[in-house]
Structure 1
């Protein structure tokens, strides 16, 4: 896979991840700013670095599982490694313009 195809696949993954919603805020994880990085680690494998809005999030497993399941729906991806990080801490400044509009800002 050449660089252009890799970039297109990462963009496709990010767009597909918009299907994963934070159930409390009803905003997708991309527009919420929870996805910090999407990297192809092998041709059919991806690593996603993400966070949650708070370390004590009661829906921790549900959101992370949703991210993994969503990525594995793509025919190009056979393996997804989800890395949950707390640094840098999430803040509303990480939200996209669409995410901010969704909360009325």
Structure 2
């Protein structure tokens, strides 16, 4: 499900690098020469342990870790004439499956964080997507960043002109909401 790295994936930053602290969600700069342990590389971001703290680094900054930046995985996109609410909604669920919690190598759909996703045709053309999701913990500072990432990716879908991602706390998330595949991946049989 996710790409994990062995503890031997220790890297030295080749340059100063923008990062976001996990779980607080604060922007920070990791200095050139700092040692970083890559813990996961998923959905367009890289999570590293540096100085005893976790940080999320954008894929575009992979070179700072001595890694080749990866292009986003190509998605199958329907032609404009083939778009309807059901097609857009299916594409939206696929895109949401490329968003990851930086601490857990499982996407937000399989984690059970997405409560709903609906597509609505707009009178002026295009579609509005409305997503309702939660987090594994209400105080997680990464929540806004994960929701913003999801919204940005949804707005890249053909025909989507509006997208909202609402963070909800009812019902509260529990491990039972995870897909069977996610529970197996995490060793929660």
Alignment TM class, shorter chain as reference: 0.7 to 0.9
Distance 1:9 1:98 in 2: 25
Cα RMSD after superposing both structures: 1.6
Choose from 141, 146, 150 the match for 1:63.
146
Distance 1:6 1:40 in 2: 5
Using the TM superposition, give the Cα deviation of residue 42 of structure 1 relative to its aligned residue in structure 2, in angstroms: 3.3
Paired residue for 1:88? 171
Distance 2:166 2:98 in 1: 19
SS at match of 1:63: helix
Is 2:124 the partner of 1:40?
no
Distance 1:55 1:100 in 2: 21
Q: Which runs of 5+ in 2 are unaligned?
A: 1-83
Contact 2:85 2:121 in 1 (8 A): no
Structure having the higher helix fraction is 1
Greater RCO between the two (CA within 8 Å, min separation 6)? 1
Larger Cα-atom Rg: 2
Q: Which runs of 5+ in 1 are unaligned?
A: none
Equivalences, count: 102
SS at match of 2:149: helix
Paired residue for 1:15? 94
In the superposition, the TM-score normalised over structure 1's length comes to 0.88
Structure having the higher strand fraction is 2
Using the TM superposition, give the Cα deviation of residue 29 of structure 1 relative to its aligned residue in structure 2, in angstroms: 0.5
In the superposition, the TM-score normalised over structure 2's length comes to 0.51
SS at match of 2:137: coil
